[in-house]
Amino acid sequence: MIDISVVIPAYNEEAYILNSLKSLINQYLASKINYEIIVVDNNSQDNTREKVNEFIEYFRNKKKVDSSLSNVEILLIEESVKGVSFARQAGFSKARGWIVATTDADCIVSPLWIRTIYNIFKYNYDYLYYQFIQNFPRKIKKRIIKMVNKPIVAATGLIKFYDDDTYELQMINKLIPVFLGLGNFFWLSPALHGSNFAVLKNYFDKVGGFNTSLKTGEDLDLGVKLSKYGRIVFLPSIVYSSSRRFRKNLLKAILIYTFGNFLSHRIFGKPMINELDVARGEKDIIYYPEFGKFKQKIKEIIEELKDKWGNIEIKNK
């Protein structure tokens, strides 16, 4: 029996996919958890399929001499219709686990990612919530637990850039937890992030899966639907991602695809922008000229901060 299925949509990811797979097979405290890794090739034009097939063959040979890996399976499937929502949907449909998790092909998951996901759903355990109330008086604690006693249907966590080699990216790494925390606090449940979330398969099927008409924000949309049936809790296991899509248009990535779409989904139930025409937004076809002046102003502010706080060292982690 498979406990967890991990779905990875991939489009032209030959340079990144192997690091993602390596992080998933090198998990701590996961030897008793049966899990499968499903790579969904979304009609890649590079050597993504070849790289994955080579890794699968390598892993099969490795399992023959290392029995500790007998609980892990890797498979490659294809989805010819371009779009991350189609790719994720294909992987989730193929999944055999009662839990389905997902990350991206350019991501590296933390060593306890699989174990943490398993614990949340196996024991209905909310890491953030129970830590918060553990010192409350017993009677108050019981009342709070009874008040919010809904089943956990999904869990989602933070991402951080592993290549934050600029001041701006380092600031984003520090600010993302703050902004997401504030947003989640006021809406009382986290928004799902496609690079780092897991869901109970039966609830995923119950809400009809991903909305494949969405070219971006399919994860946010799924979260809105799931929250009607139970709680979405914090997943305290970070996933490390490439910053390449933020580098291409930093301001737009933050204002539109991160916070704009987040707020739009929470208020209106649909994305503010839905114009990415290939999986994971490799080709970004929208440009807003009015962002130019705003972006320049942000750069000026950042330079002022550098001059003022130039003696403060920001270390890469």
The per-residue DSSP string of 168-226 comes to HHHHHHHHHHHHHHHHHHHHTSPPP-TTSEEEEHHHHHHTTS--TT-SS-HHHHHHHHH
Q: Which uninterrupted H or E stretch holds 102? A: strand 99-102
Average pLDDT for 140-148: 65
Indicate whether 317 belongs to any domain.
Answer: no
Q: In the prediction, which pLDDT does 256 show?
A: 62
| CB crowding 161-192: b at 16 or more within 10 Å, else e | bbebeeebbbebbeebeeebeeebeebebbbb
Q: In the prediction, which pLDDT does 49 show?
A: 97
Which stretch of 29-38, 249-258, 278-287 has the lowest confidence by average pLDDT? 278-287
Indicate whether 10 belongs to any domain.
Answer: yes
Which stretch of 28-37, 102-111, 220-229, 249-258 has the lowest confidence by average pLDDT? 249-258
Which stretch of 50-54, 164-168, 293-297 has the lowest confidence by average pLDDT? 293-297
* Percentage of the chain exceeding pLDDT 90: 46
User: In terms of pLDDT, which residue wins out, 272 or 215?
Assistant: 215
Which stretch of 38-42, 149-153, 249-253 has the lowest confidence by average pLDDT? 249-253
Indicate whether 313 belongs to any domain.
Answer: no
Q: How many domains does the chain have?
A: 1
Contact 77, 90 (CB under 8 A): yes
Indicate whether 315 belongs to any domain.
Answer: no
* Closest alpha carbon to 189 in 242, 142, 152: 152
Indicate whether 314 belongs to any domain.
Answer: no
306, pLDDT greater than 50: yes
Most confident of 53-67, 247-261, 301-315: 53-67
Q: In the prediction, which pLDDT does 316 show?
A: 40
Note the pLDDT tens digit of each residue in 158-200. 888 888 777 777 777 777 776 666 655 555 556 788 899 999 9
Indicate whether 273 belongs to any domain.
Answer: yes
The mean of the pLDDT values for the chain is 80
Q: In the prediction, which pLDDT does 213 show?
A: 87
Indicate whether 296 belongs to any domain.
Answer: yes
* Closest alpha carbon to 280 in 49, 81, 11: 11
Note the pLDDT tens digit of each residue in 205-234. 999 999 998 877 788 889 889 988 988 888
CATH of the domain at 214: 3.90.550.10
pTM of the model: 0.79
Contact 7, 38 (CB under 8 A): yes
Contact 191, 220 (CB under 8 A): yes
Q: In the prediction, which pLDDT does 248 show?
A: 66
Q: How confident is the model at residue 126 (pLDDT cuts 50, 70, 90)?
A: confident
83, pLDDT greater than 80: yes
Domain that holds residue 28: 4-308
Indicate whether 199 belongs to any domain.
Answer: yes
